[in-house]
Amino acid sequence: MPRWYAACPCFGLPETVTQQVAALVQQNELRGVVPLIRLEKRPRGRFFVFLAIQSEKPGDLPPELHPLREHPLLKELMRSGDGRIEAFTLDEIRGMVSGEIEMKEYARRLSISLPDPPVQAEPFPPGEEQDETAERAMLERGQHFDRLLLWLSAAGSGTRGTFFSACQSLRLADDSREAGFILRRLRLLGHIESSRDGERWFIAPAVLAR
């Protein structure tokens, strides 16, 4: 069956995008349709991901992908003048891409074993009273973090300095070191991505997880 490549412009970390494609392939059993991908060489910031697609008609999505046409990865595929997907051959992109990443092998690394369920302990043992002042302070700090996320989503991207100023205005950090800890936690939670030099940040798009 013919194999052709569809180009998808992506933004963020290559590892994150690769995981998204592998999860899409694994969850929808598409290993026979999208067997591998190739990344643009030295991807940084905005880059292209080339999906290898196996179908009889290059430029037309195979039936297995039709239910996923609105998925961000497929919705952003480059289109030709007639509205069909721009189809590339390996020879046409060989000079601008790195080695192939097989989705079958990569998806296997996404599987994890769940830990044993934690033992449920009584959060407030008898005789211990809640500290209302501490509880009120924790609630207020949580609201400040909510406002920070709202501001980040509205801004979309910015510099490390603007992030520090926002944290300082919301009384979440007194210095750049504390702001750096907050930025790192938001990255670990998947809310934010940053440039390689750490000087710019980009808010991750909101998603609905099933």
Residues 6+ apart with CB under 8 A from 193: 12, 13, 16, 187, 201, 202, 204
What is the assigned CATH class of domain 137-203? mainly alpha
Nearest residue to 85 via CA among 59, 49, 63 = 59
Q: What is the pLDDT along the chain (210 residues), one digit of tens a residue?
A: 788 998 998 888 888 888 888 888 888 888 888 988 899 888 777 888 999 999 888 888 888 888 888 888 888 888 887 778 898 999 998 888 888 888 776 655 555 455 666 666 666 666 555 567 777 888 888 888 888 888 888 888 999 899 999 999 888 988 888 888 898 888 888 888 888 888 898 987 666 667
Q: How far apart are CA 112 and CA 140, in angstroms?
A: 36
Compute the C-alpha angle 22/196/190, nearest 5°: 50
DSSP character at residue 30: -
Q: What pLDDT was estimated at residue 5?
A: 92
Give yes or no for a contact between 58 and 3, defined as CB atoms under 8 angstroms apart: no
Domain boundaries, the chain: 3-108, 137-203
pLDDT of residue 140: 85
**Cut 0.75: pTM above it:** no
- The per-residue pLDDT for 50 is 92
